[in-house]
Amino acid sequence: MRRVIALAVLILASVPLMYAVAQLPPIGSVQNPTYTHVVPRYLAEGHEEAGAENIVTAVILNYRGFDTDGEVTVIFTALMSVFAVLLMPRLADKKREEGLPAVPVSPVTYFVVRTLAPFIVMFAIANIAYGHAAPGGGFQGGTIIGALLIATSLVMGSERVGRLLPESIRPWLQPAAVLMFSIVGIAGMFLLGEYLSYPVHGPYVFLRTPFLTLIEIGIALGGAAIVASIFWTMEGSEG
C-alpha cells in the first residue's frame, strides 16, 4: 500500500519536473543564461584578477571566497557534531582495546592497498600543489588522502594507521581549513583593509598565488583529518 502511494506521488511529481525540463534552454549552448551572466568575466579576467590558472579554483577561493570560508566551517561543525553525538556518551565507558581489523582481510586486498598507497599520496599532493593551475585542488587532494587513510585503516586496523595522525596533533589539523582561511583573511585585512581580500595590484601582488596555495594546503590538511576522523569515530562504535 505504501509503495503504491509512493509511486503515485512520484508520478505526480514527475509531471511538473519533466514539464520544466522541457522548457529549459538546450544543454551545451554558449547562449545559455548560466554562461552569459558573470562567467564571461571570470573566463576573460579570472587569470589576471584572481591569480589562478584554474578558474574553478579562482571561483571557489577568490570570487566566492566567503562561500568557501563558510563551507569549511560547515564541515568542521559537522565533525564537532559527530564527536558530540558519538563520543560524548562514550567518554564514561572504559577505553575499548582496538587491535587488528574486526573482519579478516584478504592478502590480495592488503597487498594492493599497501602497494598503491604511496602513489595515491603522490597523486593527492600533486592535486593540492597544482590546484591553482590544473584540475584538482585542496578539497579533492584532501579527500583522496582521507579516503586513503580509511582504506588503510580497513586493511591494517585503525590503531596502526591512527598513529600517522597522533591524537595530540589531530585537534590542530581538524580545524586547519578554518584556521588557514582566518589567517589569510586577516592578513588580507591588515594589508588591504578588507577581510579575505586578495591583492590585485600594488606592492603585495606577489602574495596572491601564495595566499591561494596556503588556503589549498589548509583545506587539504583539514579535509583529510576530518574525513579520517569521522571514519575512526564511527568505527569505534558498536553496531
Q: Give the binding site for other proteins (CB under 8 A).
A: 2-3, 5-7, 9-10, 13-14, 17-18, 21-24, 26-30, 32, 34-35, 38-39, 42-43, 46-47, 53-56, 58-60, 64, 67-68, 71-72, 74-75, 77-79, 81-82, 85-86, 89, 133-135, 137, 139, 223, 227, 230, 233-234, 237-239
Instruction: Please state, in angstroms and rounded to a whole number, the distance separating the CA atoms of residues 185 and 179.
Output: 10
Question: Quick one: how far is CA 88 from the chain centroid?
Answer: 25
Please give the C-alpha separations between residue 183 and each of 24, 37, 69, 70, 189, in angstroms, as whole numbers.
43, 32, 11, 14, 10
Question: Grid coordinates standing for 11?
Answer: 508520478
Instruction: Please state, in angstroms and rounded to a whole number, the distance separating the CA atoms of residues 89 and 70.
Output: 29
Residues 92, 102 contacting (CB under 8 angstroms): no
Residues 49, 42 contacting (CB under 8 angstroms): no
| CB nearer other proteins, residue 23 or residue 115 | 23
| CB nearer other proteins, residue 133 or residue 205 | 133
Nearest approach, Cβ of 219 to other proteins (angstroms)?
Answer: 9
Nearest approach, Cβ of 61 to other proteins (angstroms)?
Answer: 9
Nearest approach, Cβ of 11 to other proteins (angstroms)?
Answer: 9
| CB nearer other proteins, residue 89 or residue 210 | 89
The angle subtended at Cα 71 by Cα 66 and Cα 74, nearest 5°, is 135
| CB nearer other proteins, residue 72 or residue 154 | 72
Residues 153, 235 contacting (CB under 8 angstroms): yes
Nearest approach, Cβ of 230 to other proteins (angstroms)?
Answer: 5
Question: Grid coordinates standing for 85?
Answer: 553525538
Nearest approach, Cβ of 133 to other proteins (angstroms)?
Answer: 6
| CB nearer other proteins, residue 18 or residue 102 | 18
Nearest approach, Cβ of 115 to other proteins (angstroms)?
Answer: 27
| CB nearer other proteins, residue 6 or residue 100 | 6
For 146, the 3-state DSSP assignment is: helix
